[in-house]
Amino acid sequence: MESLWSKLSAALPINEEQFPLQFSDKVESSVVEMLTRSRHQLYSTTRSNNQTLYAQVVLDISWERLNTGTWRDVDKDWRRLYSYGCLFKVAALCRESPSEHEILQAVRTCDMGLLMGAAVMDNILQVFVRILQSEIRKTTKEETDYVEAKMSLKMKCHTFSKRMKIVVPRVPPIKEELAVERIKCPSLESFNTKYLVPLKPVILEGIIDHWPALNNRPWSLEYLRSVAGCRTVPVEVGSRYTDEDWSQTLLTINEFIDKYILEKVQDSQSGERAVGYLAQHQLFDQIPELKEDIRIPDYCCLGEGDEDDITVNAWFGPTGTVSPLHQDPQQNFLAQVVGSKYVRLYSPEDTDKLYPHQSQLLHNTSQVEVENPDSERFPKFVRAPYLECVLQPGDVLFIPVKHWHYVRSLDVSFSVSFWWS
């Protein structure tokens, strides 16, 4: 039986000389020296009582550089450096018969590198995390079988906590004259002529029925846990991103499901359930296994961009997640996989009635609370015409570029969005 370490080291270069450490001048030689020492430790046969030390130094210095200036301006080399730090830390954690806790720490370290770093050595962190995950699955198979049975039950009977404030009706009735049009499997040409060119919203039915996520590998909480439960993801905490108490944190998918979907842990003193949302995250780049369960809609080929330029985001959360009314600079296919969502759409022509924020940061977001508008502060809003719909699993909503949209989840929901041009 191959040890974990032998599997991991098989993915590494055979010796120190073959291990590349190339950086631009921006990375000071003292920092490269730290990396060199880490690399030396990796291939050294002498045991050091603290192998994670140099790796941690690399992580700490690159973390500081990553947080200097604006994210956009961060030199790619600092992100690569961070990934190297993660690599060395994982190696140090898994060198000598690691415990399950250490393996989980190693998975988390890989994820931090995938989230914040830049791919190095043919995306070695992705290779590492796959090896580590299979190690975990071996040990926790029995546990999961038992928990799965309990969880599928919980997902079926979702109840409201009495403490939750219900401000709006649970499932808003859709007025027929305001409903977004629906069409089943239109031809490319038909979609292009009737909806893309005139920039008209529409719900496409039947176009994702072939997705494994809706077919042979149906997405459920149990499935997500089994494929990616120990993986760390960014979670938004707070009712909406325009609120003062909104923040982002990192959780494993297991922790996120326990805390925010199944509400196992109460941490809010006031008794109100905090909303957590795995939102706008390129989950499928981080977890390729899930990418296998979805497909890029054919209609995206009607755009001018490359397939590589299409941004695919995951949106996974409990009931009541709200995306405030906002607009995006690209075309959007919003595919509903699990659960349902209420969506309202406003045309860019009516922007003057939607009171966007003045600040640079939020100028694409409206100040108005769509389902509870302040008519004194925003008098024109009630006169703005709109379309609305409830998305069910299997629906794909076409949101034309710059179209204002507001989204509220009506139960545990998983959507996938495709931003294309």
Binding site for other proteins (CB under 8 A): 28-30, 33-34, 46-50, 53-54, 57, 60-61, 64, 67-70, 237, 245, 249-251, 265, 267-270, 274
Enter the tokens of residue 145: 């079988």
CB of 226 to other proteins, least distance (A): 23
CB of 189 to other proteins, least distance (A): 48
Task: Select 67 or 152, whichever has its Cβ closest to other proteins.
Answer: 67
CA distance 195 to 399: 10
Counting Cα atoms < 13 Å in the Cβ hemisphere of 155 gives 18
Counting Cα atoms < 13 Å in the Cβ hemisphere of 418 gives 25
Task: Select 134 or 247, whichever has its Cβ closest to other proteins.
Answer: 247
Burial class of 124 by CB neighbour count within 10 A (0 to 12, 13 to 18, 19+) = buried
| Distances in whole angstroms, Cα of residue 245 to Cα of each of 145, 237, 241, 256 | 37, 8, 9, 18
CA distance 359 to 412: 33
CB of 276 to other proteins, least distance (A): 9
Task: Select 41 or 415, whichever has its Cβ closest to other proteins.
Answer: 41
Edge-to-edge strand ranges of the sheet holding 247-252:
182-184, 202-205, 395-399, 331-338, 413-420, 311-317, 276-281, 232-237, 247-252
Task: Select 136 or 274, whichever has its Cβ closest to other proteins.
Answer: 274
Q: Which long-range contacts (CB under 8 A, 24 or more apart) does 113-116 make?
A: 113/82, 113/83, 113/85, 113/86, 113/87, 114/285, 114/286, 115/232, 115/234, 115/250, 115/286, 116/63, 116/66, 116/79, 116/82
Task: Select 99 or 360, whichever has its Cβ closest to other proteins.
Answer: 360
Give strand pairing partners of 249.
235
Strand, helix or coil for residue 117: coil
Counting Cα atoms < 13 Å in the Cβ hemisphere of 163 gives 9
CB of 17 to other proteins, least distance (A): 22
Task: Select 245 or 306, whichever has its Cβ closest to other proteins.
Answer: 245
Residues 163/270, Cβ–Cβ less than 8 Å: no
Is beta strand 276-281 parallel, antiparallel or unpaired with respect to 232-237? Answer: antiparallel
CB of 313 to other proteins, least distance (A): 23
Task: Select 251 or 278, whichever has its Cβ closest to other proteins.
Answer: 251
CB of 134 to other proteins, least distance (A): 26
CB of 263 to other proteins, least distance (A): 14
CB of 278 to other proteins, least distance (A): 14
CA distance 375 to 366: 14
Tell me phi and psi for residue 98, to 5 degrees.
-70, 150
CB of 117 to other proteins, least distance (A): 19
CA distance 154 to 299: 37
Task: Select 45 or 159, whichever has its Cβ closest to other proteins.
Answer: 45
Task: Select 27 or 208, whichever has its Cβ closest to other proteins.
Answer: 27
CB of 260 to other proteins, least distance (A): 10
CB of 372 to other proteins, least distance (A): 24
Task: Select 252 or 340, whichever has its Cβ closest to other proteins.
Answer: 252
CA distance 273 to 321: 12
Task: Select 108 or 344, whichever has its Cβ closest to other proteins.
Answer: 108
CA distance 44 to 371: 63
